[in-house]
Amino acid sequence: MKIIGEKINGTRKRVAAAIAERDQTYIQELAAKQSEAGANWLDVNAGTHPAQEPADLTWLIETIQAVVETPLCLDSANPAALQTVLPVVKKTPMINSISGEPERLEKILPIVAEHGCEVIALAMDDKKIPKTTEKRMEIIDNILAATRAAGVPDGKVYVDPLVMTIATENQSANIACDTIRAVHEKYPDVHFTMGLSNISFGLPARSYINRGFLTLAMGAGLDSAIMDPLDREIQAAILAAELLLGKDRHCLNYVRASRKGVFDQPIT
């Protein structure tokens, strides 16, 4: 299970302030902590106006790269911003994201192909998120046709099946898991990712829902997630799920984590 650390996101108020004030210390601390906690990528989202985005993203990237070597996940739908910042990125980044929207495919895919990036593909088009697995599959078919045509190998594509909040859509976890299974069946090399916490929006005691959903989704084939790597409860749930899915030989990771005290903190 790979982790895309979600914390450096300009739509969060504290991060937005740090970007506006060019507060390097705050951003570098977020980067270092997430990397230490095992993030495989650090998501970088400036959350600013398109005109301001290239400058803000460049600053964020340089600030982060000064303290950690963890690869970045460039979170922007703005091709101009991506083009501007790519030359300053040291390790081949992941791009977050493309969708079935033709304009996004046309403008962002060539960048992905040229730089050999990994890319997150959202199972939606022109702003609409389909309700059924079948419709999401149609969009994924279109995206995969486009990525293949652009020369991006399936193994670099991370499909996000898009989970809706279960408070308003009772079948949303099932739809997301079914989508993962269906895509995996048809495109065995494709990876998966998603934002975990959306599922529990509007409900109490969210962390139980997030953990339960993570386990079900991993059972369906989820192999990465956009999440807070500092969340020990989720980290513990990942270890348990990998163990139960037979991906932890001799249960070594689980036992080692236990010795390291990963499970010691009481679950709140």
Interface residue with other proteins among 168, 264, 266, 268 (CB under 8 A) is 168
Q: Of the listed pieces 95-103, 147-155, 197-205, 260-268, which binds other proteins according to CB under 8 A? A: 197-205
Give me the least distance between CB of 128 and other proteins, in Å please. 7
Give the Cα separation of 267 and 170 in Å (integer): 27
Q: Of the listed pieces 36-44, 80-88, 99-107, 198-206, which binds other proteins according to CB under 8 A? A: 198-206
Q: By CB under 8 A, is residue 165 in contact with other proteins?
A: yes
Q: By CB under 8 A, is residue 128 in contact with other proteins?
A: yes
Kindly write out the interface string for residues 69-108 of this chain, putting x where it contacts other proteins by CB under 8 A and - elsewhere.
----------------------------------------
**Which two three-digit tokens encode residue 176?**
């997301």
- The Cα-based distances of 219 to 58, 212, 222, 238, 242 in angstroms read 38, 11, 7, 11, 9
Judge residue 222's burial from the number of C-beta atoms within 10 Å of its C-beta, 0-12 exposed, 13-18 middle, 19 or more buried. buried
Give me the least distance between CB of 127 and other proteins, in Å please. 6
Which residue's CB is nearer to other proteins, number 42 or number 166? 166
Give me the least distance between CB of 165 and other proteins, in Å please. 7
Q: Taking the chain, what is the end-to-end CA distance rounded to the nearest angstrom?
A: 24
**Which two three-digit tokens encode residue 163?**
């989970």
**Which two three-digit tokens encode residue 236?**
């513990």
Give me the least distance between CB of 84 and other proteins, in Å please. 21
Which residue's CB is nearer to other proteins, number 10 or number 93? 10
Residues in 108-127 at the binding interface with other proteins, rule: CB under 8 A: 127
96 membership: H or E segment, kind and range: strand 94-98
Interface residue with other proteins among 201, 252, 255, 267 (CB under 8 A) is 201
Give the Cα separation of 242 and 19 in Å (integer): 37
Contacts of 155 (CB under 8 A, 6+ apart): 189, 190, 191
Interface residue with other proteins among 204, 246, 261, 266 (CB under 8 A) is 204
Q: Which residue has the tokens 């979170």?
A: 75
Q: Which residue has the tokens 């036992």?
A: 255
- The Cα-based distances of 179 to 117, 215, 240 in angstroms read 24, 16, 23
Q: By CB under 8 A, is residue 129 in contact with other proteins?
A: yes
Q: Of the listed pieces 138-146, 150-158, 173-181, 196-204, which binds other proteins according to CB under 8 A? A: 196-204
Interface residue with other proteins among 167, 244, 251, 267 (CB under 8 A) is 167
Residue type at 236?
Answer: A
Residues that bind other proteins (CB under 8 A): 127-129, 165, 167-168, 201-204
